[in-house]
Amino acid sequence: MLIPLAIRNSPSLIRVVPFALFVVLTFCQDLFGEAARYWFYLGKTVVGAWLIWEMRRHVSEMRSVFSWEAVVAGIVVFVLWVGIDPLLQRLGIRYPKIAIGQSGPWNPLVRFADNVALAWFFIVVRIVGSAVVVPPLEEVFFRSWLYRYIARPDFQSVPLGRFLILPFAVSSVVFGLEHREWLAGILAGMIYAGLVCWKKRLGDAIVAHGVTNFFLGLWVVFKEQWQYW
């Protein structure tokens, strides 16, 4: 199965439609009951991996680039992500209890308490999905397309990595508002966008995003901070 030709041939649609489809699947994953959403997430992750496989031939800048700057940026965002919430609570500011589209925290160890192997399978799926599948889809949409499209509808005429204050601010805010932890999300968006502007390539942001989500997944599981999922 291939992405339709009309989408593949459109520089905008090939960057927007896969992300939009992934978001729609995210909103739908809680519509079929508590247990079903774990299986739905597995399906969504497989679909997301297929979308990335199809996109890679048409979005040249989405190739991951491993650099120490990307790893450091990813760790910094992770520290911000888990550190801002307690600070906000001390200030009397609280994030929403759950994210839009979720019925409650993601905790397979509770839902599948009678089947530990299955519970850990879904934990691994969640970490792999968030660290490997989510970053390319989101970074292509936010940093490759939205950032440059805000600057100019003919977005490909805007060099990747050119710093422009309005696209930088707007794309980071929109990215942040996609997440329950909106303040941490906005700061993360700024760091990822700043990395693209600094390195003049998208791959570093993809890797940084993956590093953040990987460490956040480990934090969620081993610190039992399920609210971040």
Reply yes or no on whether the pLDDT at 111 is more than 90: yes
pLDDT score of 140:
98
Distances (CA, A) of 27 to 24, 130, 150: 5, 15, 26
pTM value is 0.93
* pLDDT tens digits, one per residue of 126-149: 999 999 999 999 999 999 999 999
Mean pLDDT of 186-197: 98
Q: Pull the structure tokens for residue 30.
A: 């809680």
Residue 94 has pLDDT above 80, yes or no: no
The predicted pLDDT at position 91 comes to: 78
Q: pLDDT for 52-91, tens place per residue?
A: 999 999 999 998 788 999 999 999 999 999 999 888 878 7
- Residue 19 sits at φ, ψ, to 5 deg, of -65, -45
pLDDT band at 102 (very low <50, low <70, confident <90, very high): low
Q: Is the pLDDT at 100 greater than 60, yes or no?
A: no
* Structure confidence at residue 158 (pLDDT): 97
Q: Which pLDDT score, from 0 to 100, does residue 97 have?
A: 57
Residue ranges per structural domain of the chain: 5-228
pLDDT recorded at residue 85: 83
Task: Report the alpha-carbon distance of residue 91 to residue 99 in Å, rounded.
Answer: 21
- Give me the mean pLDDT over the 159-165 stretch: 96
Percent share of the chain, pLDDT over 70: 95
Mean pLDDT of the chain: 92
What does the pLDDT look like over 21-50, one tens digit per residue? 999 999 998 888 888 999 999 999 999 999
**96 pLDDT tier (thresholds 50, 70, 90):** low
Residue 194 has pLDDT above 80, yes or no: yes
Q: List Cβ neighbours of 3 (8 Å cut-off, separation of 6 or more).
A: 14, 17, 18, 51, 54, 55
Please, where are the H alpha helices in 92-181?
Answer: 108-111, 116-128, 134-139, 147-151, 165-177
pLDDT above 90 as % of the chain:
80
Residue 213 in this model has a pLDDT that exceeds 60: yes
